[in-house]
Amino acid sequence: MMTGDKNHKTCFHCALPVPTGCELTVQIEEEQRPVCCPGCKAVAELIRDTGLSRYYDLRDAPEPGVGRPPEEAAEWKVFDSPEMLDAFTESHDDMREATIYVGGMYCSACSWLIETTLGKQPGVASAEVNPITHRLRLRFPAREASLSSHLATLADLGYQPQPLSPESTVRPEVTEQRTALKRLLVASLGMMQVMMFAVGLYSMDFQGIDPDMQHFLRLVSFFVTTPVVFYAARPFFTSAWRGVARRKPGMDLPVSIAVGSAYVASVYATFTRGEAVWFDSVTMFVFFLTLGRFLEMRARHRSIDRSAALSSLLPNTATRIDNEAHVVVPVSQLTTGDHVLIRAGEAIPADGVLASGATSVDEALLTGEATPQTKVVGDELSAGSVNLDSMIEMTVTSTGGDTTLGTISRLSERARYARPAFVTLADKIASYIVVALLVVATGVATFWYFNDPDRAFVITLSVLVVTCPCALALATPAAFAAAGSRLSQLRLLVTNGNAIEALSRATLAVFDKTGTLTIGLPRITAVFVTDNAWTEKDCRVIAAALEHASTHPLARAFALPDELPVVTSHEIVVGEGVRGIIHGREWRLGNASFIGGVAEANDSAATHVFLGVDENVVAWFELEDELRPNVAQTLENLRGHGVGTALVSGDNRAAVESVASRLAIDDVYYECTPEDKLAIIEAAQKRGEKVVMIGDGINDAPVLAGADTSIAPAHGALLAQTSADVIMLGDSLSPLTTAVEMSRKTMRIVRQNLAWAIVYNALALPLAAAGYVPPWAAAIGMSASSLIVVLNALRLNRFE
């Protein structure tokens, strides 16, 4: 960190103090800048000459407070109130610590810039930026109690600061990862060092031993290995002990025995000037194990990073309209029914309904839909999407965890903890394998003790190391973790651990119709006027006027014309239709019996809505629900993968068959109750089919639960209610094919991994037991084997 010492110039390039007497300068943007050494001068000139001076702009700190619109500065003042300080900072003794998400960071130059600029501000104890997660940890004395000036400074620098509340930042996986990285670092540095010494020791074995030199190298190796064993390898020991205590020995037990005994034996040999030391094998073994675990953990965490990114989409403050006055409040204080003002470019703070204005919003992160969505009054808006075009007012309908965004985050969370039965089984088996290995190792030790006691220890050590069932234990979880995170990138949230395996075996896909194969938004396909007193246009206008206030899904089919006649005595009759008085006559819109007339033939593919006046039918509308985009192609692809398709629906025969014939679905069931649907699925399962049910599951949760696995296309309000194993975000059904392909690939990789682990162990164990494998080679063999397994699993991340 830089000091504020004014007596010293600091190097323009590297920010270190320029040594006295050094007169080197470099000309950047018309100005001579001091540099500290020829090296910095050379780099600075190179950067300038390649036209990348922007690099320095990114780091240049403008004067605080300059050029800042006052109304924006006021926005940060909110964070100075005691409630906000409590909500967004943590108190430690007399210091407060705030975590701030810094939007708009590019690279390490940015973190450098932020740390230096904030570090120089009065009242800042420390500022640390993590360039990966874009998070700034700011510590300042509690009595200073002003967060706003620092936020304003960050905004001045051109970043978008967002204070994060402690709940959202103290994420266990971050700590986990940081610790794991430290252990990996210790293990890798230790390994590099010890390997260097080991080469020396081995070369001396050939060249003749110089005991003093050998002792020296062994001593140094001992010093370097000790932190590797006691720090980097600690998780293995604790986990092994936990396994023993619970009487369920895990794969860490043989690892711990091998590391522990090799270390103790080596230390003994070092101080008694014994025959051989195995520090190199120990550090290498620990390094590769740690590396394997680290990679596996990265695969697991990747999906979490995404959900963390989701929660960072929310703004921290919103502009609430209280009796014409605009008040900036923290988002957490918004409640249902509030009116909020959202300017162009701002993120929408809560779920709500557009109350005034019209705009387009970017919902890409929520639905995967890349094109901006046009929104008019009455349309739903989702928290976390971005208002693109113009200022709008919104009525809040749900906040916080109840929003779509909150639900997606929660589902992602659930997905993370989903543990496939397959993995649990593998864990159980691993337990037996570990016991078997220990028995074998004891046998080997006994045999060699009686035949060649000098080699007994080395050989047993090799056996323990080479047969470490790490590959076996990693084979499945690594693959599932990688698959889960890749699927979530493809906008498929897996909330049940068994879904991937079930999906890979699917032989029959059963679809619901409305809202699944179709969008769920009907549109008028034909108007039949039966009373010549009225034109088609009259009928449409009157129907639109009647439906205007209705919330029924069919209502949206009647697009609003410019001018609507006035409706009085408007009434909605549930299950029947709507009625109201227009120009003194009573109009009704609804099903045939509601109008009072005789039912017209209703055996066609579409839904019919009748319009009547004074109990006489005037016209009827034919409504049809549009198919989702790419449905036909998706079903075709599924059949190409050997998955049959069936359609079950509660709708009438004609409507269902019309859809089925357009999509070439063979098995069609119509007018089904949820019980019927469940019976159909169970019948298919009796025939030996593995059934995947695709439906929104709002009304038929038992049906979803009855299938081998279930997938729900869902967004908006439906998300929270669905109980499906896999949730598809967005409008298209095509991720379905991806899900099936992905699940099969996952299972293929799991099988490859298991096969590899078994073959490797079957080959390595006899060789090691026969004494052909020295410990270092055993460490390499075992590590290579686990790395192969993890890397093979990580291939899933690249799945298209």
Partner 1 sequence: MTELWPVLTAAFITGFLGSAHCFGMCGGISGLFAVNASIASLRSQFPKAIAYNTGRILSYAFLGVVVAVLGKTAVDSIPDLMAPVRLASGLLIVLVGLQLAFGWRILAPLENAGARLWKRIAPAAKSLVPVNSIPQAFGLGLIWGWLPCGLVYSVLLLAATTAEPGGGGLVMIAFGLGTMPAMVATGVSASKLAQFMSGKRMGAGLLIVLLGLATIAMPVMKLAGTQGHGGHNMSSQTMES
Site membership for partner 1, residue 131 (CB under 8 A): yes
Contacts of 270 (CB under 8 A, 6+ apart): 215, 218, 219, 221, 222, 277
Is the distance from CB of 582 to CB of 542 less than 8 angstroms?
yes
Contacts of 713 (CB under 8 A, 6+ apart): 515, 516, 628, 694, 696, 727, 728, 730, 731, 733
Name the minimum Å distance from CB 19 to partner 1.
Answer: 6
DSSP assigned state of 141: E
Site membership for partner 1, residue 11 (CB under 8 A): yes
Identify the active-site residue in 252, 280, 512, 625. Answer: 512
Stretch that binds partner 1, among 126-134, 402-410, 628-636, 663-671 (CB under 8 A): 126-134
Name the minimum Å distance from CB 701 to partner 1.
Answer: 37
Stretch that binds partner 1, among 91-99, 188-196, 386-394, 543-551 (CB under 8 A): 188-196
**CB nearer to partner 1: pick between 124 and 500:** 124
Site membership for partner 1, residue 491 (CB under 8 A): no
DSSP assigned state of 554: G
Active site residue 512: yes
Name the minimum Å distance from CB 672 to partner 1.
Answer: 46
Name the minimum Å distance from CB 92 to partner 1.
Answer: 19
- d(Cα 620, Cα 601) in Å, to the nearest integer? 11
Answer for which of 18, 102, 129, 542 binds partner 1 (CB under 8 A) is 129
For residue 309, give Cα distances in angstroms to 134, 347, 352, 774. 11, 14, 22, 47
Answer for which of 18, 85, 105, 415 binds partner 1 (CB under 8 A) is 105
Name the minimum Å distance from CB 192 to partner 1.
Answer: 7
Angle at the Cα of 196 (from 194 to 199), degrees rounded to 5?
A: 105
Answer for which of 3, 29, 32, 42 binds partner 1 (CB under 8 A) is 42
Provide the 10 A C-beta neighbour count for residue 699: 12
The separation between the first and the last C-alpha atoms of the chain, rounded to the nearest angstrom, is: 44
Stretch that binds partner 1, among 42-50, 250-258, 355-363, 385-393 (CB under 8 A): 42-50
**Residue span 22-41 as binding mask against partner 1, x where in contact by CB under 8 A, dash where not:** ---------------xxxxx
Site membership for partner 1, residue 312 (CB under 8 A): no
Q: Copy the structure tokens of residue 357.
A: 């204005």
Name the minimum Å distance from CB 756 to partner 1.
Answer: 25
Answer for which of 91, 108, 336, 673 binds partner 1 (CB under 8 A) is 108
By C-alpha distance, which of 172, 170, 173, 148 is closest to 161?
148
Site membership for partner 1, residue 774 (CB under 8 A): no
For residue 530, give Cα distances in angstroms to 611, 621, 711. 10, 11, 44
- d(Cα 381, Cα 351) in Å, to the nearest integer? 6
Site membership for partner 1, residue 270 (CB under 8 A): no
Site membership for partner 1, residue 717 (CB under 8 A): no
Q: Copy the structure tokens of residue 274.
A: 């014994």
Name the minimum Å distance from CB 282 to partner 1.
Answer: 19
Q: Would you call 640 helix, strand, or coil by DSSP?
A: helix
Answer for which of 28, 47, 61, 355 binds partner 1 (CB under 8 A) is 47
Largest Cα–Cα distance in the chain?
A: 116
Q: Copy the structure tokens of residue 222.
A: 């001992």
**CB nearer to partner 1: pick between 127 and 665:** 127
Which conformational region is residue 123 in: left (phi greater than 0), alpha (psi within -120 to 50 degrees), or beta? left
- Residue 98 pairs in a beta bridge with 89, 138
Name the minimum Å distance from CB 129 to partner 1.
Answer: 7
Site membership for partner 1, residue 310 (CB under 8 A): no
Answer for which of 3, 8, 32, 52 binds partner 1 (CB under 8 A) is 52
C-alpha Rg value of the chain to the nearest Å: 34
Q: Copy the structure tokens of residue 493.
A: 């949230």
Q: Which of residues 196-225 bind partner 1 (CB under 8 A)?
A: 196-197, 200, 203-204, 207-208, 210-213, 216-217, 220
Answer for which of 149, 169, 193, 404 binds partner 1 (CB under 8 A) is 193
Site membership for partner 1, residue 799 (CB under 8 A): no
Site membership for partner 1, residue 623 (CB under 8 A): no
Buried b (16+ CB within 10 A) or exposed e, 591-625: bbebbebeeeeeeebbbbbbbbbeeebbbbbbbbb
Site membership for partner 1, residue 183 (CB under 8 A): no
**CB nearer to partner 1: pick between 206 and 450:** 206
Strands 726-728 and 492-494: antiparallel
Name the minimum Å distance from CB 152 to partner 1.
Answer: 23
Name the minimum Å distance from CB 486 to partner 1.
Answer: 14
Answer for which of 27, 32, 46, 83 binds partner 1 (CB under 8 A) is 46
- d(Cα 666, Cα 672) in Å, to the nearest integer? 16
Site membership for partner 1, residue 529 (CB under 8 A): no
Q: How many residues does the chain have?
A: 800
Site membership for partner 1, residue 111 (CB under 8 A): yes
- d(Cα 214, Cα 196) in Å, to the nearest integer? 13
- d(Cα 251, Cα 471) in Å, to the nearest integer? 10
- Residue 100 pairs in a beta bridge with 136, 163
Stretch that binds partner 1, among 12-20, 462-470, 609-617, 697-705 (CB under 8 A): 12-20
Number of chain positions touching partner 1 (CB under 8 A):
55
Name the minimum Å distance from CB 55 to partner 1.
Answer: 6
Is the distance from CB of 358 to CB of 378 less than 8 angstroms?
no
Site membership for partner 1, residue 344 (CB under 8 A): no
Chain residues binding partner 1 by CB under 8 A are 1, 11, 13-16, 19, 37-43, 45-47, 49-50, 52, 54-55, 58, 105-109, 111-112, 115, 128-132, 134, 181, 185, 192-193, 196-197, 200, 203-204, 207-208, 210-213, 216-217, 220
Active site (catalytic) residues: 512
